């Protein structure tokens, strides 16, 4: 992905400006949000720290949701400015498999149209060289949008500055794995994030797939699999 | 609130398991070419406007698509907005399109009033609404005197003139629940007029907050300034019983005991003076009273303050030294911080803030508390010279005449209004005109409802069918601010005078009238039309701009929707006190029988066996008072309010996260969901304001959460006089409560 977002959680005040700005621009049912704020705490009173995390699609380099979607509804936007992970709502059958696979708990099935809803990285704007709505809205500049290379440098710079100010746990999250980069101050777990290096390579996915039917039962159980098939049938009928 | 570790483990577990689905078993999929991405909607017009959600009035640019507001952006050239808005500004257009809006004038047919009572609304014409109101107001005036008509509104030139024309001195205002502590102390000790509104947080290097929490509340310029300053290496220390976002982002969070900030301030003042760490040039040149102050604070040692506040003496000493030796340093003050009308000692705390800022030379200096450079707008009475008004009674229901410092500003009355009406003190009130105020904002709201029931007639101008609308006899529908025109001065951040254009986003959606027209309509119906001959909002704005060498036409043609008089910032050398200096020992307070220095006084209610917890009140960044709970966007970000408790406290009380709980004070009780965190003192419960709506006409807001204001007692004017508080303020958090499972 040529473009990235650098979200600096050490600047985020958890106000929700990004959430409302995004929500107002994309149609989805009440309460289905493409991005939301979560407040995390670590320690116990009075030695407590709190921080916010903007929880939205991370646009993983190898995306679990894309790999696992049984109907290939999740795909990459093509082109020079593309690379973001998006959902083809016409193909999506709303089975929610992606939701259970995502390491960030991002995809949601909208109860209205029964389609998966998640952050698209404002793909339709970004392919034309525009920024994302949330980056343009954040009042304190916690969300930077730009070319990945530049943002990587900016992120490292920021981490260096934080460290020299005594915040030894400052880190840049997502360098190798995700399209969205995060500046965090603490272990990834303290912000509800999986450890870095979580992303399986494409080869890894191949390997898992080759285990064949054995894994199916373990993964979703026969029931889960039947649900996918049933829903697919339903969708086909609806279309006819 | 999920713990970080739990969320991460859950997600990773799912990830591994569900990653094992074999490819060959996938159901067959038709591979079709992907549909192209949708196009960005075409913006047909962009209109300048000014956010009216809060008084920051950020300048906006509203992008219109298909005749509707699609997006609102901050105006990059506005000193307040700096190209961004806050969450409330971004979501404000949803109120414009709220299907629950009042769409035409109405009158009630059911004489019974109160929560749960259907008013039996019927649609009426504007003529009938004006006639009915004029007739009822005139009846009250003739039978009980003009003072029996009360204005329950925010300040507005038209309304003030109507009140004068009627001859009533009773304009009740809400600032005694908002900032009269700051107003009274700045007025007495520094300005002789009002308080400053501008905090130059951007340039501060040391930010010492006592409950100042504007960034966490999302306030645009404060949030921007705070993050900017922190990135620039500023140090922030936050005293707050709750670990809010402001505290979480600061270098240090100090969970101080509620209502004891004054003790810490006094100890800091003492140390800074005794160790001669103050800014000698500034103090010598621009202040008086250092010696008297020094003598008065000698008893306030850090050890003494530690006993009261539970802040270690060593911390108080260290922070005081850092504050006094890092430049520029600021104790930011806004509204409901520890120096606001929260506690019995609020005004003293506010005065201590002024002194701390003066000691480090941060009054009207960059990086400090700055007097906004406003545009010199020609006053309404000069543009439209008034006729002679009837003499009004001196005595008011707000007790204005009994508070020599805050009384003349007229910024009071909310705290005492229920008692005044119910006890007919000093005389009976019969009719009321309400605008942009709600029942839920008044302390002990249920008692205020009783007071409203006692009135013969209530007319309300509003946008949404709020609780006070449910108590009305006649309702005047107003346009949403995005439908209005005019101009607004910059106040909350103005290094130089700047005015922003308001250009409506389109034709009004409903049969509404602007506030000015409503006032004039009532005046005419009362036979007082002569006081508004030739008066109009459009003309006022135009005349005011012409006096500045511009005009409404010129402003409309301005490429950025702004008029600016960009001159360099010149720090003030003289102040508005008798000595022309900042008075660290206030001769004005002394003259009126108040303490001339901020000596220690505890808060009024302390935890007891019956009510063991302090009540802390805050606001969610996305919500604006009790006005935003029907906003569809806002309610998705902050759908309800909670009783936030420390986990340890909750465990003792047998309360689990998400349990329904009762919060009970000596006046009322409310039901809420519990939210358990670590970042709050174990002796506190914190509730967000704005919820607990009982108007059934508010689809989203109705019945959600509880109104913490119900828990706060109101007062009588006599009680406030006896408190010897120059600000006549309410004590909006000075109440203790108990919490138990519902
Ligand atoms: S990138 Fe776009 S879709 Fe994603 S959270 Fe931001 S505004 Fe929403
Ligand atoms: S708008 Fe910015 S500061 Fe506010 S919640 Fe989003 S990322 Fe955080
Ligand atoms: S701070 Fe927010 S609510 Fe206040 S005027 Fe600015 S955008 Fe509007």
B25 and A232 within 8 Å at the Cβ level: the answer is no
Q: Nearest CA to B259 among B245, B241, B246, B237?
A: B241
Ligand 1 lined by A9 (C-beta under 6 Å) = no
The first and second tokens of residue A104, run together, are 């960030």
pLDDT digits (tens, 9 = 90+) for B385-400: 999 999 999 999 999 9
- How far apart are alpha carbons B478 and B510 in whole angstroms? 9
Ligand 3 center from residue B217 Cα (angstroms): 11
Ligand 1 center from residue B14 Cα (angstroms): 24
Name residue B48's beta-bridge partners: B61
Asked if B254 and B268 count as a contact pair (C-beta separation under 8 A), the reply is no
**For chain A, how long is the longest CA-to-CA vector?**
63
Q: Find the closest chain A residue to B13 by CA distance.
A: A103
A 10 A CB-CB count for B39 gives 9
Q: Is the preceding peptide bond at B426 cis, omega within 30 degrees of 0?
A: yes
* 3-class secondary-structure state, position A111: coil
List Cα–Cα distances, A27 to A111, A118, B139, in angstroms: 13, 11, 53
- Mean of the per-residue pLDDT values of chain B: 95
Angle CA B341–B332–B565, to nearest 5: 110
Tell me, yes or no, whether B264 and B301 share the same domain.
Answer: yes
Distance, C-alpha B680 to centroid of its chain: 23
The first and second tokens of residue B710, run together, are 């119900």
Q: What pLDDT score was predicted for residue B317?
A: 98
pLDDT digits (tens, 9 = 90+) for B50-84: 999 999 999 999 999 999 999 999 999 999 999 99
Average pLDDT over residues B577-602: 98
pLDDT digits (tens, 9 = 90+) for B563-576: 999 999 999 999 99
Ligand 3 center from residue B690 Cα (angstroms): 17
Tell me, yes or no, whether B388 and B366 share the same domain.
Answer: no
> Is A17 near chain B, with CB under 8 Å?
yes
Asked if B473 and B742 count as a contact pair (C-beta separation under 8 A), the reply is no
- How far apart are alpha carbons B350 and B736 in whole angstroms? 22
List Cα–Cα distances, A206 to A62, A73, A97, A198, in angstroms: 12, 19, 18, 16
Asked if B50 and B58 count as a contact pair (C-beta separation under 8 A), the reply is yes
Average pLDDT over residues B405-417: 96
Q: Report the share of chain B in percent with pLDDT over 70.
A: 96
Distance, C-alpha B263 to centroid of its chain: 25
Say yes or no to pLDDT of A234 above 80. Answer: no
- How far apart are alpha carbons B583 and B588 in whole angstroms? 9
Asked if B166 and B158 count as a contact pair (C-beta separation under 8 A), the reply is no
Q: Is the preceding peptide bond at A141 cis, omega within 30 degrees of 0?
A: no
Question: pLDDT band for position A197 (50/70/90)?
Answer: confident
Ligand 3 lined by B82 (C-beta under 6 Å) = no
Task: Identify the domain containing residue B74 by its residue range.
Answer: 45-96
- How far apart are alpha carbons A62 and A202 in whole angstroms? 6
Question: pLDDT band for position A212 (50/70/90)?
Answer: very low
B636 and A30 within 8 Å at the Cβ level: the answer is yes
Ligand 1 center from residue B120 Cα (angstroms): 45
Residue of B76, B88, B488, B490 to test ligand 3 pocket, by largest number of atoms within 8 Å of CB: B88
pLDDT digits (tens, 9 = 90+) for B340-359: 999 999 999 999 999 999 99
Say yes or no to pLDDT of A232 above 80. Answer: no
Tell me, yes or no, whether B283 and B342 share the same domain.
Answer: yes
Say yes or no to pLDDT of A165 above 70. Answer: yes
Say yes or no to pLDDT of B205 above 70. Answer: yes
Q: Nearest CA to B211 among B559, B603, B693?
A: B603
Ligand 1 center from residue B92 Cα (angstroms): 19
- What is the residue-wise DSSP string for B23-90? STTSPP----PPPPPPPPPPP-EEEEEE--SSTT--EEEEEEETTEEEEEEE-TT-TTTTT---HHHH
The first and second tokens of residue B681, run together, are 């003192």
- How far apart are alpha carbons B736 and B164 in whole angstroms? 41
Residue of A24, A26, A54, A56 to test ligand 1 pocket, by largest number of atoms within 8 Å of CB: A56
Q: What pLDDT score was predicted for residue B155?
A: 85
pLDDT digits (tens, 9 = 90+) for B650-668: 999 999 999 999 999 999 9
CATH: 3.40.50.150, 3.40.640.10, 3.30.70.20, 3.40.50.10470. Which one for A3-239?
3.30.70.20
Asked if B438 and B698 count as a contact pair (C-beta separation under 8 A), the reply is no
> Is B269 near chain A, with CB under 8 Å?
no
Exposed, middle or buried, B242 (CB in 10 Å: 0-12/13-18/19+)?
buried
Residues 226-255 of B with CB under 8 A from A: 226-228, 230-231, 233, 243, 245-249, 253, 255
- How far apart are alpha carbons B457 and B473 in whole angstroms? 6
Say yes or no to pLDDT of B715 above 50. Answer: yes
Tell me, yes or no, whether B261 and B361 share the same domain.
Answer: yes
Say yes or no to pLDDT of A196 above 90. Answer: no
* 3-class secondary-structure state, position B116: coil
Q: What pLDDT score was predicted for residue A210?
A: 43
- How far apart are alpha carbons A199 and A202 in whole angstroms? 9
Asked if B730 and B720 count as a contact pair (C-beta separation under 8 A), the reply is no
B632 and A67 within 8 Å at the Cβ level: the answer is no
Residue of B219, B627, B631 to test ligand 3 pocket, by largest number of atoms within 8 Å of CB: B219
Q: What pLDDT score was predicted for residue B33?
A: 77
Residues of A within 8 A of B245 (CB-CB) are: 13-15, 50, 52
Residues 154-213 of A with CB under 8 A from B: 165, 188-195, 198, 200, 205, 208-213
Q: Which residues of B298-309 are buried (b: 16+ CB within 10 A; e: fewer)?
A: eebbbebbbebb
Say yes or no to pLDDT of B673 above 60. Answer: yes
The first and second tokens of residue B240, run together, are 């707050």
List Cα–Cα distances, B79 to B83, B237, B274, B491, B550, in angstroms: 9, 26, 39, 9, 19
Residue nearest atom 4 in ligand 3 by C-alpha distance: B54
Exposed, middle or buried, B159 (CB in 10 Å: 0-12/13-18/19+)?
buried
For B139-162, give the secondary structure using H, E and C: HHHHHHCHHHEEEECCCCHHHHHH
Distance, C-alpha B728 to centroid of its chain: 17
Q: What pLDDT score was predicted for residue B36?
A: 87
The first and second tokens of residue A227, run together, are 């649900």
Q: What pLDDT score was predicted for residue A240?
A: 52
CATH number of the domain at B290, please. Answer: 3.40.228.10
Tell me, yes or no, whether B76 and B203 share the same domain.
Answer: no
For chain B, report the end-to-end CA distance as a whole number of angstroms: 21
Tell me, yes or no, whether B253 and B129 share the same domain.
Answer: no
Residues of A within 8 A of B220 (CB-CB) are: 139
Cβ-Cβ contacts under 8 Å for B543 (sequence gap 6 or more): B378, B383
Tell me, yes or no, whether B389 and B475 share the same domain.
Answer: yes
Asked if B69 and B668 count as a contact pair (C-beta separation under 8 A), the reply is no
- How far apart are alpha carbons A223 and B1 in whole angstroms? 31
The first and second tokens of residue B634, run together, are 């806002």
Residues of A within 8 A of B682 (CB-CB) are: 45
Residue ranges per structural domain of chain A: 3-239
Asked if B163 and B152 count as a contact pair (C-beta separation under 8 A), the reply is no
Ligand 1 center from residue B663 Cα (angstroms): 39
Q: What pLDDT score was predicted for residue B29?
A: 53
Say yes or no to pLDDT of B25 above 70. Answer: no
B243 and A50 within 8 Å at the Cβ level: the answer is yes
Say yes or no to pLDDT of B18 above 50. Answer: no
Residues 62-81 of B with CB under 8 A from A: 71, 73-74
List strand residue ranges (DSSP E) for A72-199, in order: 74-76, 85-87, 108-109, 116-117, 143-147, 170-173, 180-185
Angle CA B88–B93–B94, to nearest 5: 90
Exposed, middle or buried, A124 (CB in 10 Å: 0-12/13-18/19+)?
middle
Q: Nearest CA to A15 among B629, B700, B88?
A: B88
Distance, C-alpha B723 to centroid of its chain: 24
Please check whether residue B384 lies inside any domain of the structure.
yes
pLDDT digits (tens, 9 = 90+) for B105-138: 999 999 999 999 999 999 999 999 999 999 999 9
Q: What pLDDT score was predicted for residue A120?
A: 97
> Is B160 near chain A, with CB under 8 Å?
no
The first and second tokens of residue B638, run together, are 């902050």
- How far apart are alpha carbons B458 and B454 in whole angstroms? 10
Tell me, yes or no, whether B417 and B542 share the same domain.
Answer: yes
- How far apart are alpha carbons A56 and A63 in whole angstroms? 14
Q: Find the closest chain B residue to A36 by CA distance.
A: B637
- Token pair 């959680």 is found at A9
Give chain B's domain count.
Answer: 4
Average pLDDT over residues A73-81: 95
List Cα–Cα distances, B519 to A161, B516, B561, in angstroms: 57, 5, 28
Residue nearest atom 6 in ligand 3 by C-alpha distance: B58
Residue of A7, A11, A13, A53 to test ligand 2 pocket, by largest number of atoms within 8 Å of CB: A13
Tell me, yes or no, whether B138 and B215 share the same domain.
Answer: no
Ligand 2 lined by A38 (C-beta under 6 Å) = no
Say yes or no to pLDDT of B739 above 50. Answer: yes
Residue nearest atom 4 in ligand 2 by C-alpha distance: A15
Please check whether residue B602 lies inside any domain of the structure.
no
A50 and B22 within 8 Å at the Cβ level: the answer is no
Which of A16, A97, A213 lies nearest to residue B637, judging by beta carbons? A16
B218 and A17 within 8 Å at the Cβ level: the answer is yes
A 10 A CB-CB count for B487 gives 25
Q: Nearest CA to B344 among B590, B593, B606?
A: B606
Q: What pLDDT score was predicted for residue B287?
A: 98
- How far apart are alpha carbons B75 and B70 in whole angstroms? 16
CATH number of the domain at B680, please. Answer: 2.40.40.20
């Amino acid at each position: 992905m040529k473009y990235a977002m650098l979200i600096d959680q050490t600047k985020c005040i958890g106000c929700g400006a990004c959430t409302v700005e995004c929500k107002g621009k994309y149609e989805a049912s009440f309460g289905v949000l493409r991005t939301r704020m979560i407040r995390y705490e670590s320690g116990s009173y009075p030695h407590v720290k709190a921080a916010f995390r903007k929880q939205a699609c991370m646009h993983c380099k190898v995306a679990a949701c894309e790999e696992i979607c049984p109907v290939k509804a999740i795909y990459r936007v093509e082109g020079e400015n593309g690379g973001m992970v998006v959902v083809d709502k016409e193909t999506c059958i709303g089975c929610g498999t992606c939701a259970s696979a995502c390491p960030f708990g991002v995809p949601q099935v909208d109860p209205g149209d029964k389609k998966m809803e998640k952050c698209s990285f404002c793909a339709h704007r970004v392919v034309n060289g525009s920024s994302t709505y949330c980056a343009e809205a954040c009042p304190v500049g916690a969300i930077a949008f730009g070319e990945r290379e530049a943002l990587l440098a900016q992120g490292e710079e920021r981490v260096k500055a934080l460290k020299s100010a005594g915040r030894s746990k400052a880190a840049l999250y997502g360098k190798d794995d995700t399209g969205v980069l995060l500046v965090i101050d603490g272990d990834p777990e303290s912000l509800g994030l999986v450890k870095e290096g979580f992303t399986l390579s494409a080869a890894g996915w191949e390997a898992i797939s080759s285990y064949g039917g054995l894994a199916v039962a373990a993964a979703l159980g026969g029931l889960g699999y039947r649900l996918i098939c049933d829903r697919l049938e339903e969708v086909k009928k609806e279309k006819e | 609130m999920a713990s970080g570790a739990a969320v991460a483990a859950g997600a990773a577990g799912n990830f591994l398991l569900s990653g094992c689905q074999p490819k060959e078993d996938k159901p067959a999929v038709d591979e079709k070419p992907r549909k192209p991405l949708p196009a960005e909607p075409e913006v047909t017009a962009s209109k300048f406007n000014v956010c009216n959600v809060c008084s920051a009035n950020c300048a906006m640019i509203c992008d219109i698509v298909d005749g509707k507001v699609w997006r609102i952006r901050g105006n990059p050239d506005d000193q307040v907005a700096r190209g961004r808005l806050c969450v409330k500004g971004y979501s404000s257009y949803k109120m414009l399109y709220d299907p629950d809006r009042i769409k035409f004038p109405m009158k009630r047919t059911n004489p019974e009033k109160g929560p749960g009572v259907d008013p039996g609304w019927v649609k009426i014409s504007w003529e009938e609404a004006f006639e009915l109101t004029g007739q009822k107001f005139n009846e009250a005036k003739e039978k009980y005197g003009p003072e029996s008509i009360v204005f329950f509104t925010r300040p507005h030139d038209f309304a003030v003139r109507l009140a004068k024309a009627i001859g009533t001195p009773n304009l009740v205002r809400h600032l005694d629940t908002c900032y009269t502590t700051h107003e009274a102390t700045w007025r007495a000790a520094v300005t002789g007029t009002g308080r400053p509104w501008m905090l130059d947080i951007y340039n501060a290097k040391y930010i010492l907050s006592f409950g100042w929490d504007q960034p966490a509340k999302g306030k645009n310029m404060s949030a921007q300034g705070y993050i900017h300053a922190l990135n620039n290496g500023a140090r922030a220390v936050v005293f707050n019983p709750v670990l809010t976002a402001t505290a979480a982002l600061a270098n240090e969070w100090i969970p101080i005991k509620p209502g004891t900030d004054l003790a810490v301030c006094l100890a800091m003042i003492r140390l800074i003076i005794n160790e001669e760490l103050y800014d000698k040039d500034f103090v010598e040149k621009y202040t008086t009273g250092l010696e008297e102050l020094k003598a008065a604070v000698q008893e306030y040692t850090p050890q003494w303050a530690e006993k009261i506040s539970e802040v270690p003496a060593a911390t108080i000493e260290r922070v005081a030294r850092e504050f006094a030796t890092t430049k520029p340093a600021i104790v930011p003050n806004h509204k409901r911080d520890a120096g606001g009308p929260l506690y019995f000692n609020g005004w003293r705390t506010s005065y201590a803030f002024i002194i701390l800022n003066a000691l480090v030379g941060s009054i009207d200096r960059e990086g400090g508390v700055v007097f906004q450079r406003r545009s010199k707008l020609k006053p309404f009475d000069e543009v439209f010279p008034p006729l002679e008004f009837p003499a009004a009674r001196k005595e008011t229901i707000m007790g204005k005449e009994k508070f020599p410092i805050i009384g003349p500003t007229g910024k009071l009355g909310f705290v005492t209004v229920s008692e005044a009406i119910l006890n007919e003190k000093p005389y009976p009130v019969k009719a009321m005109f309400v605008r942009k105020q709600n029942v839920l904002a008044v302390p002990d709201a249920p008692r205020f409802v009783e007071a409203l029931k006692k009135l013969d007639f209530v007319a309300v101008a509003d946008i949404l069918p709020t609780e006070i609308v449910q108590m009305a006899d006649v309702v005047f529908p107003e346009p949403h601010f995005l439908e209005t025109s005019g101009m607004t001065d910059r106040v909350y951040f103005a290094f130089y005078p700047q005015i922003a254009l308001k250009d409506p986003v389109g034709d009004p959606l409903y049969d509404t009238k602007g506030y000015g027209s409503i006032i004039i309509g009532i005046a005419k119906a009362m036979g007082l039309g002569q006081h508004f001959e030739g008066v109009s909002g459009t003309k006022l704005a135009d005349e005011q701009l012409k006096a500045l060498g511009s005009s409404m036409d010129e402003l409309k043609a301005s490429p950025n929707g702004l008029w600016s008089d960009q001159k360099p910032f010149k720090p003030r050398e003289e102040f508005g006190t008798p000595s022309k200096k900042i008075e660290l020992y206030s001769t004005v307070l002394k003259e009126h029988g108040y303490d001339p220095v901020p000596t220690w006084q505890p808060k009024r209610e302390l935890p007891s066996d019956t009510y063991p917890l302090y009540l802390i009140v805050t606001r969610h960044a996305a919500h604006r008072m009790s006005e935003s709970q029907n906003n569809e966007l806002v309610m998705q970000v902050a759908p309800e309010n909670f009783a936030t408790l420390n986990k340890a406290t909750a465990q003792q009380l047998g309360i689990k996260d998400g349990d329904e709980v009762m919060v009970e004070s000596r006046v009322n009780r409310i039901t809420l969901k519990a939210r358990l965190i670590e970042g709050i003192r174990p002796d506190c419960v914190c509730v967000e304001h704005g919820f607990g709506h009982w108007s059934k006409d508010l689809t989203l807001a109705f019945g959600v959460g509880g109104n913490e204001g119900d828990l706060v007692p109101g007062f009588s004017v006599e009680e406030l006089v006896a408190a010897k508080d120059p600000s006549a303020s309410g004590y909006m958090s000075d109440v203790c409560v108990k919490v138990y499972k519902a």
